Structure 1
Amino acid sequence: MKKFCLGIIAAIGLLLTPTVISHADKINLKAVNANVHRYYRTNRAVTIKVGVRDKTGKHYTSRRLTLPKNTIVSSTSSGTNNKGQLDQININVQSLSYAVEKPILKTGNYLSKQDPTTSYSAARFTRVKRPAYRLAYSSGDLYAGKVPSAQDNFYQTNQVMITTDGYLEYYRYDPSSPIADPTSGFKTKPTAAAKITATKLKGNSRWLYTKTSVKGVGQKYIHKSGNYRYRLRITNLHDPQTRNFEDGPGFYSYYTIGGKRFYTLIGNDSA
């Protein structure tokens, strides 16, 4: 009886504290709400509505944002009509570069967490494969250090962003941001950014090349001229992590960027 009671107490303790999946374990992404992204290329300039907030975080408004032709976007959900044609797409605006978002952010606005869901004609988008520079399951946002044990601390660290439209961005965390949502503070102007000019894959690593330097991410200077002047190595450590919170488990993956450890959300079990 004593052993039985101790077992119940231990089980309750596991439910109340964050748990970590060891390196030997694997997350069954088919059994959880994995961040599975579909990628599309705009066939023409497309204007969408995007929600933004001011610096106080209290005033919300809708702005029009034009996506140039050949812009790569991602979506975690889409719809088709009775002919099987794409007629609705939920664009992940947070994953686009500042270069595209600048017209609606340059006045000091922050992107709202709400992404637009709007119907479009199928002719405006073409389904494409995941770009080589994008990580599987990740939304492109990676955060420096270890996965925190407290949910409120998840984004209180520097961020590297690999955008859907092919930019490498670095955001330095600013604890003085007036916005209550900590992730909003990252979607203003990045500390440094550059267009990704090439990607090479080998094993569990990928190398991103840029023509200009992105200070803060750990790039190596390799050429004096051309599109391959700076190189950044990103390596999947295959060390999945999970944290249990009130709204359900969150699943994370570790990477090294320029030799330093980062984590990114790859799925959750709240849906």
Structure 2
Amino acid sequence: MIKGKWIVAGLIAAGMCGVGTLPAQASTQYLGVTTHKFLKTQRKIVTKNSVKKGTITIPKGTVVQIQAISASNGKTWVGLNINQLSYNIRKSYKLSPTMTESIPATTKNFKHVSVPKYLGFYATQKTYPDGALRNYKADGNLYKGTKYPKNDTKAKMARVHVTPNGYLEYYKSSPFRVDGVDKKPTTSVKITKTSKSKSTLTLYSKGAVPKAIGSKVSKKGNYRYKVTIKRLNQFYGTMFYNAKSKNVLNSVEIAAGYKVGKTQYFLSESTIYPG
């Protein structure tokens, strides 16, 4: 989900030195971790946000993507973006910010897992090297349309989000920039099967999906509905200029083209800054 500013860097700079509601001594064995990799919870984790307010419970067996890391003396902690969790987990959380406090990355809390197949429509691990003047920010949110909106603070549009823990969530109308925790989606269904061919990813669910994004293919079983996400291998740029000097380019927002069903969508892929 598009946020006004990256807050991950601030968490790293602060060291994420807290240990939250899970004491580090629960296990002496820590995982080696890097940002954007995926973990699965080995037990129920009860944690708070980064300013230690509010509580969110992450069930055992939940796949999460690391958003921030800190390390000290051979010990590691991770921070998670609450808005990357499916609505059935985040619905009880009403506060801001949406990053969790630091959670010990112990083998008692997590284990490593591969990139989930249902996220195969975009690159989850991609980064640009230092000095490239480009920031990769794709996060699994697809927006109806062809280009990053010029008025990105007020724009609203349909949105499809595939969460790291395997839910397909559809918003009939969603703000492009979301303040605080994400609101209830129009539809949220558990993905029961994934198939891929060339540039097309097909997601199946038992729960119903709206005709705007998918179709019913069976009357019974776990694969009753399907949604196809096709990567078009096309990119579009939206240029942002200095408010006072209209001829001074501040940044270019790059959108990657997709189709969800027969409708054009885009992924906010990266930001380019002029040298």
**Does TM, scored on the shorter chain, surpass 0.5?**
yes
- 1:98 alignment counterpart: 87
Q: Do residues 75 (structure 1) and 66 (structure 2) align?
A: yes
Pick the aligned partner of 2:231 from 236, 259, 262.
Answer: 236
Alpha-carbon distance between aligned partners in 2 of 1:122 and 1:217, rounded to the nearest angstrom: 42
- Return the letter of the residue paired with 2:123: A
- Return the letter of the residue paired with 1:169: E
- Return the letter of the residue paired with 2:48: K
- 2:123 alignment counterpart: 136
- Which has a greater percent of helix? 1
Alpha-carbon distance between aligned partners in 1 of 2:111 and 2:63, rounded to the nearest angstrom: 9
Q: CA deviation at 1:173?
A: 1.6
Alpha-carbon distance between aligned partners in 2 of 1:101 and 1:113, rounded to the nearest angstrom: 13
Q: Do residues 193 (structure 1) and 188 (structure 2) align?
A: yes
Q: How many residues align?
A: 215
- 2:48 alignment counterpart: 49
Alpha-carbon distance between aligned partners in 2 of 1:198 and 1:186, rounded to the nearest angstrom: 28
Alpha-carbon distance between aligned partners in 2 of 1:90 and 1:248, rounded to the nearest angstrom: 28
Structure with bigger gyration radius: 1
Alignment of 1:3-42 (within 5 A): 37-42=36-41
Distance of aligned partners of 1:174 and 1:130 in 2 relative to their CA distance in 1, 3 Å threshold: closer
Q: CA deviation at 1:90?
A: 2.3
Q: Deviations over 1:13-57 (max 9, x none)?
A: xxxxxxxxxxxxxxxxxxxxxxx8321111111122137xxxxxx
Q: Which runs of 5+ in 2 are unaligned?
A: 1-34, 125-137, 243-249
Q: CA deviation at 1:241?
A: 2.4
Q: TM-score, normalised by structure 2?
A: 0.69
Q: CA deviation at 1:139?
A: 1.0
- Return the letter of the residue paired with 1:41: K
- 2:260 alignment counterpart: 257
Alpha-carbon distance between aligned partners in 2 of 1:250 and 1:76, rounded to the nearest angstrom: 21
Q: Deviations over 1:112-171 (max 9, x none)?
A: 354234141422122211101113243121110121451426751111111111111111
Name the SS of the counterpart of 1:133 in structure 2. Answer: helix
Distance of aligned partners of 1:155 and 1:82 in 2 relative to their CA distance in 1, 3 Å threshold: farther
Q: Deviations over 1:190-235 (max 9, x none)?
A: 1111100010011011100000112154212111111111111100
Identity %: 27
Does the 8 Å contact 1:88/1:117 carry over to 2? no
Does the 8 Å contact 1:148/1:154 carry over to 2? no
Q: TM-score, normalised by structure 1?
A: 0.70
Alpha-carbon distance between aligned partners in 2 of 1:255 and 1:133, rounded to the nearest angstrom: 15
Name the SS of the counterpart of 2:83 in structure 1. Answer: helix
- Return the letter of the residue paired with 1:239: Q
- Return the letter of the residue paired with 1:213: A
Does the 8 Å contact 1:173/1:186 carry over to 2? no
Does the 8 Å contact 2:98/2:180 carry over to 1? no
- Between 62-71 and 240-249, report the one with greater CA deviation: 240-249
Q: Do residues 248 (structure 1) and 251 (structure 2) align?
A: yes
* Runs of 4+ with deviation above 4 angstroms: none
- Return the letter of the residue paired with 1:261: Q
Does the 8 Å contact 1:167/1:196 carry over to 2? yes
Q: Do residues 267 (structure 1) and 253 (structure 2) align?
A: no
- 1:16 alignment counterpart: none
Does the 8 Å contact 2:78/2:105 carry over to 1? no
Does the 8 Å contact 1:143/1:155 carry over to 2? no
Distance of aligned partners of 1:204 and 1:154 in 2 relative to their CA distance in 1, 3 Å threshold: farther
Distance of aligned partners of 1:165 and 1:217 in 2 relative to their CA distance in 1, 3 Å threshold: farther
Distance of aligned partners of 1:63 and 1:185 in 2 relative to their CA distance in 1, 3 Å threshold: closer
RMSD (Å), alpha carbons: 2.7
Alpha-carbon distance between aligned partners in 1 of 2:73 and 2:202, rounded to the nearest angstrom: 42
